[in-house]
Homo-oligomer: A and B are copies of this chain.
């Protein structure tokens, strides 16, 4: 049986509840972050905690837990669950608002589930469908996934595995991952604005800079169709090649060499990180 933490309390995950007055249930208001553990070691935990506090600040949610206190709760949960390869989610909600509208004392939830990278998709690459949308308050990892959940039917209809948001032809990100292209030059290029600053995105940019020209800039749908390779990055996916957009093949239709190179080096970096 898995355990979870609600505020300071460790309890069976099935008993982890919030009262329905919480602003997450009433108004969809909260933030979270999500990191993985491999062989019982948290991966890029400091980056995720940095972003967690930043998201909370952007949403004006006071965090009463010091970084050290938060880590202690996380390690307490890991100790209890004994789940070596996992995803750990830290959620902070708007709290129990008496008027159903005003931010109150936030509720903290920490949950853990088994997570593993999908190696099959890494080998074949995925298809993305594009959709015009801009995430609200994009620099914060809020719980607002209204469009992402709503678009799941669309993604299936398009025989895609995920959706890539764009606005007026300028692409930003997927609901749960950052997006990169490799140009014909080749340069490694990724959108710079109105996105979530992904933890894996940051690592991939650093790796890419060692061997390629890297640009953080506006990326258009047209850029994608001219690209040699494309991929997405996220905590649960690491690097996942993208081989088709809206039914149109990109590059050779196979995962590209630069993508594979970066993917191998990212896996190595993560292995070193947890060693």
Q: How far is the CB of A204 from chain B (nearest CB, A)?
A: 23
Closest to A153 in B: B60
Q: Are B91 and A25 in contact (CB under 8 A)?
A: yes
Q: Counting CB contacts under 8 A, is A149 at the interface?
A: yes
Tell me if A164 counts as interface (CB < 8 A to partner B): no
Q: Tell me the complex Cα distance, A28–B26, Å.
A: 9
The answer on a CB contact under 8 Å between B20 and A111 is yes
User: What CA separation (Å) do A93 and B28 show in the bound complex?
Assistant: 10
Most buried by B among A4, A101, A137: A101
Q: Measured between C-beta atoms, what is the minimum distance from A65 to chain B in Å?
A: 17
| A139-147, A192-200, A224-232: which lies at the interface | A139-147
When the two chains form their complex, are residues B25 and A24 in contact, meaning their CB atoms are under 8 A apart?
Answer: yes
Known A-B contacts A20-B17, A20-B18; A25 and B93 likewise in contact (beta carbons under 8 Å): yes
Size band of the interface chain A makes with B: 35 or more
**Number of identical protomers:** 2
Known: A60-B150, A101-B149, A149-B94. A143 touches B26 (CB 8 A): yes
Q: In the complex, what residue of chain B is closest to A24 when comparing beta carbons?
A: B25
| Closest-CB distance, A19 to chain B (whole angstroms) | 5
Does A152 reach chain B (CB closer than 8 Å)?
A: yes
Inter-chain CA distance A26–B150, complex, in Å, is: 14
Q: Which of A86-112 contact B (CB under 8 A)?
A: 89, 91, 93-94, 100-103, 109, 111
Q: Which 10 A-B pairs give the minimum distances between C-beta atoms?
A: A28-B28, A17-B17, A27-B145, A28-B143, A24-B25, A16-B20, A28-B144, A29-B149, A144-B146, A20-B109
Q: Which residues of A contact B (CB under 8 A)?
A: 4, 6, 13-14, 16-30, 59-60, 89, 91, 93-94, 100-103, 109, 111, 113, 136-137, 142-150, 152-153
Task: A16-B20, A26-B145 are known; give 19 further A-B pairs, CB within 8 A.
Answer: A6-B20, A13-B21, A17-B17, A18-B20, A24-B24, A25-B91, A25-B93, A27-B145, A27-B148, A28-B28, A28-B30, A28-B145, A28-B146, A29-B145, A59-B150, A60-B150, A103-B149, A103-B152, A136-B146
